[in-house]
A and B are shown apart, each in its own frame.
Chain A
Amino acid sequence: MAFAALAVFVAALPAFISDVKAQQFAYVGIYLIALLGLNILTGYTGQISLGHGAFMAIGGYTTVILMVGNEQFGGSITGGVRDVWTIPAAGLVAGLVGLAFGLPALRLSGLYLALATFAVAVAMPSAIKRFDSFTGGGTGVNLFGKPELTGGLTGVDLLGRHLSFNLWLYYLCWSIALVAFAVAWLVLRGRTGRAFRAVRDSETAAISSGISLARYKTLAFGISAAYAGVAGSLFAIANTYVNPDTFPVLLSIELLIGIVVGGLGRLSGLVFGAYVIAFFRLYWAQGEDLGSLLPHRVIEETHKPGGPAIVYGVFLILLMFVLPSGVAGLFRSIGAALTRRR
């Protein structure tokens, strides 16, 4: 099973990579969780969302406010909750908001839903700033060094081993990601999953087989939002700082890119999608090279500001031409080709 392979791989990886790289891989886990959720909504239920960065923001801020409270901005929440215990709360809050959003979203579909969710993503940073006595506004909130943050200063002692903060983040994010993966797989293979797929394939057929569109569309929104909330919570913990600009519109766009690149509706490609998002962030910052595969002049030119963006955009377009079913589609074709040979 792919799951077992992934689990083994994740457990073994830190032995081969540096501490810093482990932390960068933790982000792959975070994006994977968000993608798993978005995939349920868009891949399996056919509802486009360009706004899941907003649900990540809700999860992230839930975590932050529970951890350090908002009394210093004028709010009334004391905080003091340890970071790991805020994670389920973040998922719950984001999930509830997702359910609430799912109800009016029933009336929208296709491009209109994309536009509406895009509007939510754009509005979220401004809304966070507007309620600055609750959220800390544009100045942001820092978590590093706070007692509620596990391992920030000294690392963590777990099961007899000492983990640096980076490794702790890695294992935290990936263990939750693996759990999230398993849960998604279980949900999707059951009746709920079949109902989701029925809604995607033909709404009218679904209705005539007695599937309540309202129930399953709203449920899909709620579940995907909860996943995004958990991802957002881990995102805040890993960054140790939040402010409205840490959840920009581009984040929502990146998530959609991730599931399309990975392969809609297929869990296997999502790992790759998450990796692409994480990798391109670092590449954009010019902290990562495309490797020495390309001639020096080309690398120099693409490292001028704006260069990585051009590469990213062109890559996306070409990918849509060449691999319409994403990377998972490629895996399936290769896999099918290999099985056929036997």
Chain B
Amino acid sequence: MPLAAFADVMQQIVSGLASGGIYASLALALVLIHRSTGVINFAQGEMATLCTYVAWTLTVNHGWNYWPAAVVTLVFAFFFGVATHRVVIRPVERGDVLRIVIVTIGLLIAINGFVTWEWSGEQRQLRSPFPSTTWDVGGVVISAQDIGTIAVSLGMVALLWLFFRFTKVGLALRAAAVNPEEARLVGIRVTWMLALGWGLAATLGAVAGMLTAPSLGLDPNMMAPVLIYAFAAAVLGGIDSPFGAVVGGLLVGVLVNVVSYLSQYRGFGWFTEELRLPLALAIILVVLLVRPSGLFGRPQVRRV
């Protein structure tokens, strides 16, 4: 019996890692935007949903093959992100925080509305890029989809790291984010760097959407709960750390599942299904209060 229970817990952990992989992929986009432009983009989930619908239109409506459609979607996402920054964010970037918050919320509302307007609220499905193979390891079933999602998220972190560390553009992006004035002095086109940051983040978001839809189902509100978990992941991992975002996502996914599993035992009986989401939110609150820079972030110093 204990062995069966062990397998059950492990299965919950595996499920948690798989869900966590989805949260991580969106959290990466959030982190990238915050790191390069200092903005928390409340519309990140909706932007990802829009791009996923583009992928859906190409594959299901027009019968394209998956991979060409995916590439086109990513390219679209990039330009969409750049355009959004130049048109919507730039005019208010240097204003006060509240204006930017309202603008990203306006984006959230408008994009969500557009998706419903264009594609209706009907439930849809996007196929997965991964095969449907599964492996049974001692009673615990792991699927290619689960592994694939986590692998892609980690891969994106690695790509980002390489990009920031070893390319001129990446370096310029970092410089523009850290100290825009001095970056300009050195000849870096700061505005374009910020737009680039948004473009890349939108691309990451599109990847997140395409990883999410096969599991969660494609509808206009697909990313709403994922966004919340992604915020938890980003805050937990450190809002400026891509690696932290992925670790945070996996941790959040596993933690919620484990607490839910333990709820059958004494001491955890207070946990019911309504509290799944609030648990993730509690993580946000606790981290912000105890260690705002998260696990892997750098503590911020307040200058007088």
Contacts and interface: CB of A to CB of B under 8 A. Distances in A.
Q: Do chains A and B touch in the complex (CB under 8 A)?
A: yes
A46 to B, nearest CB: 9
A204 B304 contact: yes
A230 interface: no
A307 B113 CA distance: 6
Nearest to B92: A320
Given A116-B285, A122-B277, A320-B106, A309 B101 contact: no
Contacts of A306: 112-118, 220
A314 interface: yes
A312 B103 contact: no
9 contacts: A108-B292, A115-B284, A119-B284, A122-B228, A123-B281, A256-B98, A307-B117, A312-B109, A317-B107
Contacts of A314: 106, 110
B117 A119 contact: no
B222 interface: no
B285 A112 contact: no
Given A48-B97, A204-B304, A316-B106, A308 B284 contact: no
In this complex, which of A112, A120, A264, A306 has the most chain B Cβ atoms within 10 angstroms of its Cβ?
Answer: A306
Given A308-B113, A313-B107, A111 B281 contact: no
Contact of B278 (A118, A127, A308): A127
B99 A310 contact: no
B117 A313 contact: no
B274 A129 contact: yes
A317 B110 contact: yes
B116 A305 contact: yes
Contacts of B277: 122-123, 126
Nearest to A310: B113
In this complex, which of B95, B105, B220, B292 has the most chain A Cβ atoms within 10 angstroms of its Cβ?
Answer: B105
A-B pairs with lowest CB-CB distance, top 6: A313-B110, A309-B113, A306-B117, A306-B116, A316-B106, A313-B109
Nearest to B106: A316
B93 to A, nearest CB: 11
Interface in A89-136: 104, 107-108, 110-112, 114-116, 118-120, 122-123, 126-127, 129-130
A331 to B, nearest CB: 18
Query: From DSSP, what is the main secondary structure of chain B's interface residues?
Result: helix
A115 B235 contact: yes
Interface string A312-332: 111111001100100000000
Interface string A278-317: 0000000000000000000000000011111111111111
B171 to A, nearest CB: 26
B92 A126 contact: no
A2 B106 CA distance: 30
Given A126-B277, A126-B278, A116 B284 contact: yes
Contacts of A257: 102, 105
Contacts of B92: 320-321, 324
Contacts of B95: 324
Nearest to A244: B274
Interface of A: 42, 48, 50, 104, 107-108, 110-112, 114-116, 118-120, 122-123, 126-127, 129-130, 204, 253, 256-257, 260, 264, 304-317, 320-321, 324
A129 B88 CA distance: 38
Given A123-B278, A310-B114, A260 B98 contact: yes
A324 B98 CA distance: 10
Given A305-B117, A306-B118, A308-B113, A253 B288 contact: no
Contact of B40 (A111, A127, A308): A111
Nearest to A48: B98
Contacts of B264: none
A311 B106 CA distance: 10
Nearest to A105: B289
Given A112-B288, A114-B101, A320-B102, A304 B281 contact: no
Interface in B183-206: none
B125 interface: no
B91 interface: yes
B98 A313 contact: no
In this complex, which of B95, B103, B106, B118 has the most chain A Cβ atoms within 10 angstroms of its Cβ?
Answer: B106
A129 B272 CA distance: 10
B274 A130 contact: yes
A311 B117 CA distance: 11
Nearest to A107: B289
A116 B304 CA distance: 24
B238 to A, nearest CB: 13
Given A116-B284, A306-B116, A130 B272 contact: yes
A309 B292 contact: no
Contact of A310 (B98, B117, B285): B117
A217 B295 CA distance: 28
Contacts of A112: 288, 292
B80 interface: no
A116 B40 CA distance: 13
Nearest to B38: A111
Contacts of A320: 92, 99, 102-103, 106
Contacts of B272: 130
A309 B42 CA distance: 16
Contacts of A116: 284-285, 288-289
B56 interface: no
Interface string B267-304: 00000101101100110110011001000000000001
A317 B103 contact: yes
